[in-house]
Amino acid sequence: MKLETSGSENYSSFFLRFHIPLTKKDIQFRFDLFSKPTAWVYGYSSRTENGQYVLFHDYDNIVFKDLVNELIFLQKRFNLSDYYVFKTRKDGFTRFV
C-alpha cells in the first residue's frame, strides 16, 4: 500500500495504491479536496454573425510584459493573426484575436 499527496492552496489530491498479490495489477483510489468558488463567473459569446468565432483569453494577476511574451508564444505556436489586449480591470487583461 502506498499513499501519495499533492496539492496547492485551494486543492489537494490523495492517491492510495494497493498491489494485488499474485496478479500483476494495482488498484488506485484518488480523492480530491478543493475549495468551492465563491464568485460568479460571467462572459460573452465569441460567435460572429457569419458563424466564425473570435478567440478570447482572460488573464488575471499578470504583469503586462509576461502577458505579451505569452501572447507572442501562442501567436507563433498556433499561427494566430493580430491580437488586441484590453485592460478590463486593475489586474486583468482580455485578449481578442
Report how far residue 75's alpha carbon sits from residue 53's, in angstroms, rounded to the nearest whole number: 16
pLDDT in tens, 37-80: 677 767 677 888 898 888 888 777 778 888 889 899 989 988 88
The answer to the question of residue 82 being in a domain is yes
The answer to the question of residue 70 being in a domain is yes
The answer to the question of residue 8 being in a domain is yes
Q: How many domains, in total, are found in the chain?
A: 2
Q: Are 60 and 30 within one domain?
A: no
Full domain range(s) for residue 64:
56-96
Pick the more confident residue, 47 or 6. 47
Pick the more confident residue, 93 or 20. 20
Is the Cβ–Cβ distance between 18 and 1 less than 8 Å? yes
In whole numbers, what is the pLDDT of the chain averaged over residues? 79
The answer to the question of residue 61 being in a domain is yes
The answer to the question of residue 42 being in a domain is no
